[in-house]
């Protein structure tokens, strides 16, 4: 039954994507000719708590075998421009990273950690996961929305860039972790866990979280920071006899692209870049809308508006090689409540963000998938490439397997490098969305 449903969805998505008009990304209509597409999943440090999403679930659900990369979110950047691990509230979670003894029932290999081992927690489990999947790469992702505060300080001068990069390589690639109470950590404790660095600076020379340090020179300094990472990673790689990857998370907003990035130049140093394909709209807007549509929907109230296609075309227009662009796919939805105006709920006034499990206006796919048939009606815009749920009062926009497949076929047709997931802990226990990505990007 599952095979039949997915086959039908492939046929539907094929029909829809090939019916769409050509764009800068899709012009020519040639399939990607690389040996395999990238499938990059963000694993969140904090997902082990309320969501109960451990590294072991990547193995038991079958997700790990369908990924090429795991980005571990996140590593912090200090005010003086260094990579560091801290257990202080809001500063880090060394307990989750490498101190927590993982019980046998959560472990990748079914073997429990003992208290005080050099490498416990998520890092230790990632090492076990890599042992089972030798081709899987794990990158440490630096920054994110909450920890991009001091990126500008780290990138400001030649000396600060050199020191920052050296500290990140020492901590994560060489694995020289601080020794914690009980004995976890130590020189080389995490060596071999991480294969490279992902920069998630949100955003150079553009507002992100309130309090972030922002400077006009961030734009040029981001390029210089990438160059320094590439130089030191290559030098370290000569000692390890391997290539250590450098990637970055890039915005969907064309204005942010222009303010913070030197277009073509940054791709000289990046192995690939993941592009934001979500959070186009949310409960902060006064009307309901899509948050991750493939194309700008007909009748959208904003002009110009955001979409995955707008984001990809924006980067291509600024000199990005399409073969280095990885499209971000959300495993969560955005919601509104107090919706008035009737109809199917789309583009209607709302009172505010919808109540949800962890954060108002934000809900995991694993929970949204249970709503159709329980008072909610599923709606779909085949051309726009998005889906939403509406019960007459509350509205949720999200990606279901049909939308995900449509995006995978867009990736193939557009010659992009692959798909990125934010974040793996939003999927269900069967890894339905990750399996769908695997199916959609499967090579003969």
Spell out the residues 6+ positions from residue 434 whose beta carbon is closer than 8 angstroms to its own: 39, 41, 61, 62, 63, 66, 67, 421, 424, 427
Give catalytic status of residue 202 as yes or no: yes
Omega before 313 within 30 of 0, i.e. cis: no
Alpha carbon 55 to chain centroid, angstroms: 16
What are the Cα distances from residue 327, in Å, to 22, 41, 50, 182, 310?
A: 17, 11, 28, 42, 11
CA trace torsion 415, 266, 222, 215 (10° rounding): -80
Task: Find all residues with CB under 8 Å of 420, minimum gap 6, and list them.
Answer: 38, 40, 41, 42, 274, 275, 277, 326, 327, 328, 329
What is the rounded CA–CA span in Å between residue 337 and residue 352? 6
Catalytic residue among 202, 228, 245, 309: 202
Rounded to 10 degrees, the C-alpha dihedral 431/63/276/48 comes to 80
* Contact (Cβ atoms closer than 8 angstroms) between residue 145 and residue 210: no
Task: Identify each DSSP E strand in 354-435 by its residue range.
Answer: 362-364, 377-381, 386-390, 395-398, 418-422
Integer angstrom CA distances of residue 45 from 140, 199, 262, 289 = 11, 16, 31, 30
Torsions phi, psi for 19 (to 5 deg) = -85, -15
CA distance 129 to 109: 8
- Rounded to 5 degrees, what are φ and ψ at 138? -120, 125
Enzyme catalytic residues: 202
């Amino acid at each position: 039954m599952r095979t039949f449903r997915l086959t039908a969805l492939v046929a539907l998505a094929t029909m829809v994507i090939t019916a769409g008009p050509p764009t800068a990304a899709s012009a020519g209509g040639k399939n990607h000719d690389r040996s395999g597409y990238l499938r990059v999943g963000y694993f969140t440090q904090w997902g082990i708590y309320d969501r109960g999403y451990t590294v072991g679930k990547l193995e038991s659900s079958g997700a790990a075998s369908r990924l090429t990369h795991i980005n571990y979110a996140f590593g912090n950047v200090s005010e003086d421009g260094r990579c560091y691990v801290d257990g202080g509230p809001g500063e880090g979670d060394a307990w989750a990273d490498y101190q927590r003894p993982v019980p046998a029932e959560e472990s990748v290999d079914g073997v429990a950690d003992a208290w005080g081992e050099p490498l416990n927690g998520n890092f230790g489990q990632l090492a076990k996961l890599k042992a089972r999947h030798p081709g899987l790469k794990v990158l440490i992702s630096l920054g994110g929305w909450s920890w991009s505060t001091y990126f500008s300080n780290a990138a400001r001068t030649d000396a600060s860039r050199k020191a920052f990069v050296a500290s990140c390589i020492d901590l994560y690639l060489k694995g020289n972790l601080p020794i914690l109470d009980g004995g976890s950590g130590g020189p080389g404790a995490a060596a071999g866990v991480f294969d490279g660095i992902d920069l998630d600076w949100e955003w150079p020379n553009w507002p992100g979280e309130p309090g972030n340090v922002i400077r006009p020179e961030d734009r040029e300094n981001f390029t210089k920071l990438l160059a320094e990472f590439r130089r030191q990673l290559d030098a370290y790689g000569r000692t390890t006899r391997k290539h250590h990857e450098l990637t970055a998370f890039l915005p969907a907003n064309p204005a942010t692209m222009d303010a913070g990035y030197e277009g073509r130049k940054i791709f000289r140093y990046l192995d690939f870049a993941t592009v934001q394909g979500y959070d186009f709209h949310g409960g902060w807007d006064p009307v309901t809308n899509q948050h991750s549509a493939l194309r700008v929907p007909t009748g959208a109230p904003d002009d110009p508006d955001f979409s995955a296609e707008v984001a990809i075309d924006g980067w291509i227009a600024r000199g990005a090689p399409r073969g280095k662009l990885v499209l971000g796919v959300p495993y969560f939805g955005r919601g509104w409540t107090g919706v008035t105006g009737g109809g199917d709920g789309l583009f209607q006034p709302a009172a505010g963000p919808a109540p949800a499990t962890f954060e108002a206006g934000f809900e995991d796919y694993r929970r949204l998938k249970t709503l159709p048939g329980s008072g909610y009606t599923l709606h779909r815009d085949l051309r726009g490439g998005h889906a939403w749920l509406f019960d007459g009062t509350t509205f949720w926009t999200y990606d279901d397997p049909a939308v995900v497949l449509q995006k995978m076929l867009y990736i193939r047709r557009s010659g992009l490098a692959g798909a990125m997931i934010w974040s793996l802990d939003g999927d269900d226990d069967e890894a339905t969305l990750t399996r769908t990505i695997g199916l959609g990007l499967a090579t003969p």
